[in-house]
Amino acid sequence: MRLFVGLDVSLAKTAICVISEYGEIIKEAEAATDPEVLASWLGGLDGGIAVVGLEAGPMSQWLHRGLAELGLDAVLMQTRQVKGALKAMPIKTDRRDAEGIARLLHLGWFRPVHCKSVSAQETRAVLGARKAIQQNMIDLEMSLRGLLRNFGLKVGAISRGRFETRIRELAEGNLMLETATEPMLRARATMRQALAALEKQVRQLAQHDPVCLRLMTMPGIGAVVALTFRAAIDDPARFRSSKRVGPWAGLTR
């Protein structure tokens, strides 16, 4: 008997629903969100597993890769499509979501999505860290501007290199303002150092990748854009034609 397994993944636990090829619920359970634990549980089922499905999400790619390495036929399902189908369910719980995913697998009403390679996910992690630090540094600068503006002190248009000096000039002589701005300036200085180190790493990653080097020969394409595109595409063979890349990225008219 062929079995269809739906997994509703959360941080600590994963809800499991197994249905037969006739649409009957064979078993329902909950297990730790770990590929080996899930594979061990699934190994105790009577019948052949046709496919294991899980909605694409933050932990799903790690689980998908782990299950595939353990010999299970796992598939990542498009998030928007799964959520649209599960909205029709009157009661929404992890258990019911797992059942809904299993039924979508059984009926074939799902669209598989590509599971990013480890190298692509690592590159995205570095780029994500860079963006997070950069955004936090900008937020800190805006907070400093707003803090001083309340006292009629305007920072004005200033280069990033002279920003700290300008803040100190404006706060000088006011003990309370100096007390308020000093720790924020120290935090900003630390962020600048971390951002500079990450940007250096990003440039090195791009310089050692032949695809990124080719992309950077185009005007306006730097290391960050090249690496972002490289990590997003990951495996060009998954596109039947280069014309499909634009719509996939949302570049439609």
Instruction: Map residue 57 onto helix, strand or coil.
Output: coil
pLDDT band at 49; cut points 50, 70, 90: very high
Is 79 within 8 Å of 57 (Cβ atoms)?
yes
pLDDT in tens, 22-37: 999 999 999 999 999 9
Q: What is the mean pLDDT of residues 130-134?
A: 96
pLDDT tier at 46 (50, 70, 90 boundaries)?
confident
Q: Which amino acid is at 140?
A: L
Residues 6+ apart with CB under 8 A from 160: 192
**Could you give the residue range(s) of every CATH 3.30.420.140 domain in the chain?**
2-107
pLDDT per position as a tens digit, 142-198: 999 999 999 999 999 989 899 999 999 999 999 999 999 999 999 999 999 999 999
What residues are paired with 27 via a beta bridge?
Answer: 18
> 201 pLDDT band (50/70/90 cuts)?
very high
pLDDT of residue 35: 94
Confidence at residue 91, expressed as pLDDT on a 0 to 100 scale: 78
**Is the pLDDT assigned to residue 253 strictly greater than 70?**
no
CB burial readout 205-225, b (16+ within 10 A) else e: bbeebeebeebbeeeeeebee
Percent of the chain with pLDDT over 90: 72
Prediction pTM value: 0.82
Taking residues 51-55, report their average pLDDT.
93
Q: Tell me what the pLDDT averaged over the chain comes to.
A: 92
- Mean pLDDT calculated for residue range 48-56: 92
The encoded tokens of residue 42 equal 């699934």
- The predicted pLDDT at position 110 comes to 87
* Residue 102 three-state SS: helix
**Residue range 82-130, pLDDT digits in tens:** 888 888 777 788 899 999 999 999 988 888 988 888 899 999 999 999 9
Q: What pLDDT digit, counting tens, does each position of 204-234 carry?
A: 999 999 999 999 999 999 999 999 999 999 9
The single residue listed with the structure tokens 């019911």 is: 96
pLDDT at 87: 83
CATH numeric code, 2-107: 3.30.420.140
**In 70-115, alpha helices (H):** 79-86, 94-107
Instruction: Evaluate whether 128 touches 58 at the Cβ level (below 8 Å).
Output: no
Closest residue by Cα to residue 189 from 233, 118, 140, 223: 140
Q: What does the pLDDT read at residue 127? A: 96
